[in-house]
Amino acid sequence: MLEPFEFGFMQRAMIAATLVGGVTAAVGVFVILRRLAYIGHGLAHSIFGGAVVSFTIGFNFFLGASLWGAFSVFLINQAARRRQIGGDAAIGIITTAAFAIGIAVISRARSFTRDFEAALFGEILGITNQDLYVTTGMIVLIALVLFVLWKPLVFITFDHDVATSYGISVRWVESIFSLALAATVVAALQVLGVTLIAAALVIPPVVARMLTDSFPRLFLLAVVIGAVTGFLGVYVSWFVDVSSGATVVLVQAAVFALTLAWGLIESRRDFSATQRAERLAGLERSLND
């Protein structure tokens, strides 16, 4: 049972997955409540383009991918403000175009190296100490942004149209949050890969949403679910010999399925209890008559 803890690469992988699981869930809470799940998926693809370009020109991977992500978010925000385009279409166009640039660069270089594969599918077991420090630094920065912008972010997420009238600079807050989202995707890239990041952004908050009606509780629950499933995913992957990123997402999906099933059973039980109470009340009435 303790075998995975004996290896340095597994220790680093479990720490990274726990941190990334927690932070993607934290940012994901705001993403799902604003019904922007699509942006996580799109941004991951867009940032892949940035990662490829950075690698090809020999630029720092984290910095290059982050700048590419930030630029994509800026373009999405600008395009989405035009009524004829709208948010969904803006995300679809810009992130796919950014992804296509990455593909074009790969095809031009005529080589598909291991680094590109790692960005696409994640390579958590290859995380070095330096990667872990950078990832941790980014996560601390993202957590700080959420901490400081908590109140305006909650307001905007709940009641976007009215926030300005309460003195909130919506554009400013949204721009900073978008950058935090881009940084989250970059931080998660090596752990989960482009193809799986969207699930980690969405599943823990959705599970938490199914369990509570209080926003602060939902947030804490989502972070805990994200962190625990991140850790469990890597831990379990050691024994089942399956890709760690995929195992993390599969563990999250299993938690989602269990929560959904439990909710269905509970609502059916509530319905039966109500029916029984109504039947008893009817019987009592007829006896009294």
Binding site for another protein (CB under 8 A): 33, 83, 147-148, 150-152, 154-155, 157-159, 161-162, 164-168, 209, 212-216, 218
Report in angstroms how near the CB of residue 133 gets to another protein at its nearest.
Answer: 26
Report in angstroms how near the CB of residue 34 gets to another protein at its nearest.
Answer: 9
Which is nearer to another protein, 98 or 153 (by Cβ)?
153
CA distances to 18, 146, 175, 216, 220 from 223, in Å: 10, 13, 23, 11, 5
Which is nearer to another protein, 96 or 212 (by Cβ)?
212
Report in angstroms how near the CB of residue 212 gets to another protein at its nearest.
Answer: 6
CA distances to 20, 134, 135, 161, 276 from 190, in Å: 10, 12, 9, 36, 54
The alpha-helical segments, DSSP class H, found in 34-86 are 37-57, 61-80
Which is nearer to another protein, 32 or 191 (by Cβ)?
32
Which is nearer to another protein, 19 or 26 (by Cβ)?
26
Burial (CB count <10 Å: 0-12, 13-18, 19+), residue 3? exposed
Q: What is the CA radius of gyration of the chain?
A: 22
Which is nearer to another protein, 112 or 158 (by Cβ)?
158
Report in angstroms how near the CB of residue 196 gets to another protein at its nearest.
Answer: 26
Token pair listed for 153: 């972010």
Report in angstroms how near the CB of residue 256 gets to another protein at its nearest.
Answer: 17
